Homo-oligomer: A and B are copies of this chain.
Amino acid sequence: MQAALDSLITEAERFLGSRITTNGSIRETHSHGEGSSPPGMPDGVAFPETTEEVSRLVALCHARRIPVIAFGAGTSLEGHVNAVSGGLTIDLSRMNRILAVNPEDMDCRIEAGVTRPQLNDHLRDQGLFMPIDPGAADCTLGGMCATRASGTNAVRYGTIRENVLGLTVVMADGRIVQTGGRVRKSATGYDLTRLFIGSEGTLGIITEIQMRLHGIPEAISAATCQFDDMTAAVQTVIEVMQAGVPVARIELLDEVQAEASIAYSKLEGLRPVPTLFFEFHGTPAGVQEQATLTETIAKENGAVDFAWAVHPEDRARLWKARHDAYWACRAMRPGFGALITDSIVPISRLPEAILGAKADIAASGLLAPMVGHVGDGNFHTVILVPPEPDGFERAWALDKQLVARALDLGGSCSGEHGVGAGKRGFLLREHGAEALDVMQTIKAALDPLGILNPGKLLPAVGN
Chain A residues packing against B (C-beta within 8 Å) = 102-107, 147-150, 154, 158-159, 161-162, 171, 175-179, 181-192, 194-195, 197-199, 203, 214-215, 217-218, 238, 241-244, 283, 285-286, 289, 342, 344-348, 376-378, 410-419, 423, 426-427, 430-432, 434-439, 441-446, 457-458
Contacts and interface: CB of A to CB of B under 8 A. Distances in A.
Contacts of A218: 244
B348 A102 contact: yes
Contact of A178 (B214, B434, B458): B434
A457 B186 CA distance: 13
B159 A185 contact: yes
A189 B435 contact: yes
A378 B185 contact: yes
Contact of A438 (B171, B241, B283, B378): B171
A183 to B, nearest CB: 5
A175 B434 CA distance: 7
Specify which of A238, A243, A415 lies most central, judged by the most chain B CB atoms within 10 Å of its CB: A415
B439 A192 contact: yes
A183 B377 contact: yes
Specify which of A346, A414, A430, A437 lies most central, judged by the most chain B CB atoms within 10 Å of its CB: A346
B104 A184 contact: no
Given A148-B191, A182-B410, A184-B376, 6 more contacts: A104-B348, A105-B347, A171-B434, A183-B376, A183-B377, A441-B446
A100 to B, nearest CB: 11
B412 A181 contact: yes
B187 A418 contact: yes
A183 B412 contact: yes
Nearest to A348: B104
A147 B187 contact: yes
A416 B185 contact: yes
B419 A188 contact: yes
A154 B416 CA distance: 26
B190 A415 contact: no
Given A198-B189, A242-B106, A179 B347 contact: no
Given A283-B289, A435-B178, A188 B427 contact: yes
